[in-house]
């Protein structure tokens, strides 16, 4: 019966043929008539190989512990295959486990080799309150001409309204789209109007899919999860991706309602009842499958009863909020 392939053990077909011959006990008798393991010459003749190839196969089998040299002679004898073969299989299995354990390290090397090697990578993921908040601050400081943001809960860090004022003061056009949930807590609208007095343009919508900030259409920060305990965001300077995110902002900006009393909304007095009515009216045009959050009756009532904003509290769009981090 032919032996199966031993390739998984690193043994080629030539060595398998040699091994079968040795296991069978074929060989020559020594001068005293005692059985002796076959010599390389005998193996070469029996398996139809040249002597060098036969010797190489025998030494390969010997290195694996499948055969052994005859004491004081040139012959090779087989170790009991019921012991030797399982031992080789077990050793190879252990080696394969070690190779599998190296997969994560190899994967990391693979990824590293395909990342840009300059100091500033085009796209990266940041995790945690400090890391996400730090990148939002960087974008605020880096903006020179244009800053746009989506504001929706949950919030990552407390507000630093002065940073936004400095940007507005140096001529940055600052636009933010807020959700109904953004302004459901007391104090939120006051900050919107105070920043509006400094030049922020604000609009309100039912819901937003992500938190977003884009500075100068060159770098963007976008949420990839809404877990308040473990915020994650994508930072990118990839031109196509930044352009796509900016287009998303523009689309939502066009469909959102201007916040009364802020730039772009006209100079009329704030009519919160009208704002609530418009939100309620526009919600009827939102498809049921869109996932948008329709203002609740409580939120509409709070909007309708909202008084003019006093000069207090703080508010800054997207990842910041002037109340305890949630």
Helix (H, G, I), strand (E, B) or coil at 14: helix
Most confident of 235-244, 278-287, 304-313: 235-244
CA–CA dist 191, 180 (Å, integer): 15
Query: How much is the average pLDDT of 30-38?
Result: 57
Lowest mean pLDDT among 101-110, 151-160, 265-274: 265-274
Condensed to tens digits (0 to 9), the pLDDT of residues 214-259 reads 999 999 999 998 788 889 999 999 999 999 999 999 999 999 988 7
pLDDT at 156 over 90: no
**Where do the H-state alpha helices sit in 126-269?**
129-142, 161-169, 188-198, 239-255
Query: How much is the average pLDDT of 191-213?
Result: 80
CA–CA dist 133, 155 (Å, integer): 10
Q: 294: which residues sit within 8 A by CB, 6+ positions away?
A: 206, 283, 286
Architecture in CATH of 7-101: Orthogonal Bundle (1.10)
Query: How much is the average pLDDT of 275-291?
Result: 52
Decide the pairing of beta strands 157-158 and 320-321. Answer: parallel
CA of 256: how far to CAs of 205, 253, 305, in Å? 5, 5, 21
Extract the tokens encoding 119.
Answer: 């100091």
R_g of the chain computed on alpha carbons: 38
Lowest mean pLDDT among 16-30, 51-65, 263-277: 263-277
Q: Describe the strand order of the beta sheet including 173-179 as a list of residue ranges.
A: 123-127, 232-236, 219-223, 212-215, 146-151, 173-179, 201-205, 257-258
Backbone φ and ψ of 226, nearest 5° = -120, 30
What mean pLDDT value characterizes the chain? 77
Q: How many CA atoms lie within 13 A of 183 on its CB side?
A: 31
Residue with the two structure tokens 């940041």: 126
CATH topology (fold) of 123-321? Endonuclease; Chain A (3.30.870)
CA–CA dist 8, 95 (Å, integer): 12
Q: Are 84 and 65 in contact (CB under 8 A)?
A: yes
Decide the pairing of beta strands 257-258 and 201-205. Answer: antiparallel
Domain boundaries, the chain: 7-101, 123-321
CA–CA dist 176, 272 (Å, integer): 19
Condensed to tens digits (0 to 9), the pLDDT of residues 117-130 reads 554 578 999 999 88
pTM exceeding the 0.85 threshold for the entire prediction: no
Q: What percent of the chain has pLDDT over 90?
A: 41
């Amino acid at each position: 019966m032919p032996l199966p392939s031993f390739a998984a053990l690193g043994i080629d077909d030539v060595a398998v043929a040699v091994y079968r011959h040795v296991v069978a006990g074929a060989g020559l008798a020594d001068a005293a008539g005692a059985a002796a393991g076959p010599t390389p010459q005998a193996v070469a003749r029996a398996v139809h190989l040249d002597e060098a190839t036969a010797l190489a196969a025998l030494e390969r089998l010997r290195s694996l512990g499948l055969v052994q040299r005859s004491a004081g002679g040139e012959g090779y004898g087989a170790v009991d295959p019921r012991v030797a073969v399982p031992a080789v299989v077990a050793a190879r299995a252990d080696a394969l486990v070690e190779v599998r354990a190296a997969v994560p390290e190899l994967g990391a090397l693979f990824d590293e080799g395909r990342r840009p090697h300059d100091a500033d990578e085009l796209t990266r993921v940041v995790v945690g309150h400090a890391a996400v908040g730090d990148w939002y601050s960087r974008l605020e400081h880096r903006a020179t001409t244009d800053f746009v943001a989506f504001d929706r809960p949950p919030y990552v860090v407390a507000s630093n309204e002065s940073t936004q004022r400095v940007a507005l003061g140096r001529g940055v056009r600052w636009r933010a789209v807020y959700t109904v949930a953004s302004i459901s807590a007391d104090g939120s609208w006051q900050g919107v109007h105070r920043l509006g007095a400094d030049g922020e343009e604000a609009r309100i919508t039912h819901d937003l899919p992500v938190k977003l900030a884009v500075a100068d259409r060159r770098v963007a920060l976008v949420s990839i999860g809404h877990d308040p305990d473990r915020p994650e965001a994508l930072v990118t300077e990839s031109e196509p991706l930044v352009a796509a995110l900016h287009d998303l902002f523009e689309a939502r900006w066009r469909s959102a309602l201007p916040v009364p009393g802020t730039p772009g909304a006209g100079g009329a007095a704030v009519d919160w009842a009208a704002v609530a009515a418009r939100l309620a009216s526009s919600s009827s045009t939102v498809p049921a499958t869109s996932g948008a959050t329709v203002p609740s009756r409580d939120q509409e009532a709070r909007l309708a009863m909202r008084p003019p904003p006093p000069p207090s509290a703080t508010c800054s769009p997207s990842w910041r909020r002037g109340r305890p981090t949630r």
